[in-house]
Amino acid sequence: MAHSSTPPPADRPVYVIGGGPGGLAAAYALRAEGIRAVVLEKADRVGASWRGHYDRLHLHTTRRLSALPGLPMPRRFGRWVSRDNVVRYLEKYAEHHKLEIVTGVEVSRVDRAPDGTGWLLHATGGRELTGGAVVVATGFNHTPRVPDWPGRDTYTGDLVHAAHYRNAEPYAGRDVLVVGVGNTGAEIAVDLVEGGASRVRLAVRTTPHIVRRSTAGWAAQYTAVLIRRLPVRLVDRLARPVARLSVPDLSAHGLPRPDTGLYSRVREGAIPVQDVGLVDAVRAGRVEVVAAVEGFEDGKVVLADGDRVAPDAVIAATGYVRGLEPLVGHLGVLDARGRPVVHGARTPDNAPGLYFTGFTNPISGMFREMAIDAEKIAKSVTRRMGGKVSRVVG
């Protein structure tokens, strides 16, 4: 008589896909609720995404408001935690909480379990894993996005995405065009200037809101936490005079003040640029602001205002896509932009037991919100799925 290899519902763990901060926080919070959580990480170590970021990167959120549940960040990391210290913290977090982590396993697709009571994960090596619930934490910055500019494929100059930028050393003495003025593009432009690039231009399509990371010791994140639940129009009105007082007018340098409200832009997904040297570099002419990139032609970069420039290298700080379509796109849980229709403790009506964390870019800080989401997810799993998942032994 044949026997099914599918474990009964009560023996199924919660699978957490992704060993970054969101996944580790969720795994700890589930363990704290007495639920067995297994983290599946495609790389050979936790924090893979953070290990690949550029060298000078620091959190733009404070150490105290960036800790994950159950373990503060050490004071020796300073107020603005460096990339390397974030990685050290994630390693320590996994070790300290004795999290159950399986590395080298990539989940390619999530389906409903055949018996309809859980989820079937298709993973590396033909594995099929059945979980009572699933937390998807594969990361906001998952797949680098480079626009399909006309002529891009025929361009023979150096063209890389910001995901592959590490430091300014390869660009010393060279003319570099950075495309995109989000936080990554702004910081890379400053890094290039300080690292000895001969010329740095910054291509801007939409003028960003720029805020000081800290003013008289008061972190911008503190304000963000306070205003996050206020009406959008009210925050927009309050932000205008603050911007005029704290950030000089850069209109003469190609960066006029935005004509749309700060919080209105945040709700559309555009986080303000935290100034870590861009304002001074633009005012001093060390970073030149130019029009947006429209394409490539005859070895040159064509700008939206008709100018053509010929930099030695182009760095595309043009963002990322979530890359969730192959994993869960067939389940009807993504919106038109490929983002989860719900996140945190909420689970889609048509996919109970499927949770998402880390797919928003909140003004109050991603680490902080992932920490909050983790505990909410754990409580939701306990309440909704308590009898369908395995419990921690001992």
Distance CA 214, CA 209 (A): 15
The candidate with the shortest Cα–Cα distance to 276, out of 340, 380, 185, is 185
Res 5: pLDDT = 55
**Ranges of each domain in the chain:** 9-142+322-388, 146-316
CATH number at 146-316: 3.50.50.60
Q: What is the mean pLDDT of residues 369-392?
A: 87
**Token digits for 250?**
């850069």
Mean pLDDT, all residues of the chain? 93
**Percent share of the chain, pLDDT over 90:** 85
Looking at the predicted structure, is the pLDDT value of residue 2 above 50? Answer: no
Res 198: pLDDT = 98
Res 116: pLDDT = 83
Q: What is the mean pLDDT of residues 299-304?
A: 96
Looking at the predicted structure, is the pLDDT value of residue 394 above 60? Answer: no
Q: What is the mean pLDDT of residues 235-244?
A: 92
Contact 260, 237 (CB under 8 A): no
CATH number at 9-142+322-388: 3.50.50.60
Residue 274 identity:
Q
Q: How do strand 313-316 and strand 175-179 relate by DSSP bridges?
A: parallel
Q: How confident is the model at residue 387 (pLDDT cuts 50, 70, 90)?
A: low
Res 57: pLDDT = 96
Res 117: pLDDT = 85
Res 312: pLDDT = 96
Tell me whether domains 9-142+322-388 and 146-316 share a fold.
yes
Helix (H, G, I), strand (E, B), or coil: what is residue 376? helix
**Token digits for 390?**
């395995």
Q: How confident is the model at residue 7 (pLDDT cuts 50, 70, 90)?
A: low
Contacts by 113-121, CB closer than 8 A, 24 or more apart: 113/6, 114/6, 115/6, 117/9, 117/388, 118/9, 118/12, 118/353, 118/388, 119/15, 119/353, 119/354, 121/15, 121/17, 121/40
b/e per residue 282-311 (b: at least 16 CB within 10 A) = beeebbbbbbebbbbeeebbbbeeeeebeb
Could you read off the pLDDT of 108-145 as tens digits, one per residue?
999 999 988 899 999 998 999 999 999 999 988 888 99
The candidate with the shortest Cα–Cα distance to 290, out of 280, 276, 305, is 305
Res 200: pLDDT = 98
Res 393: pLDDT = 62
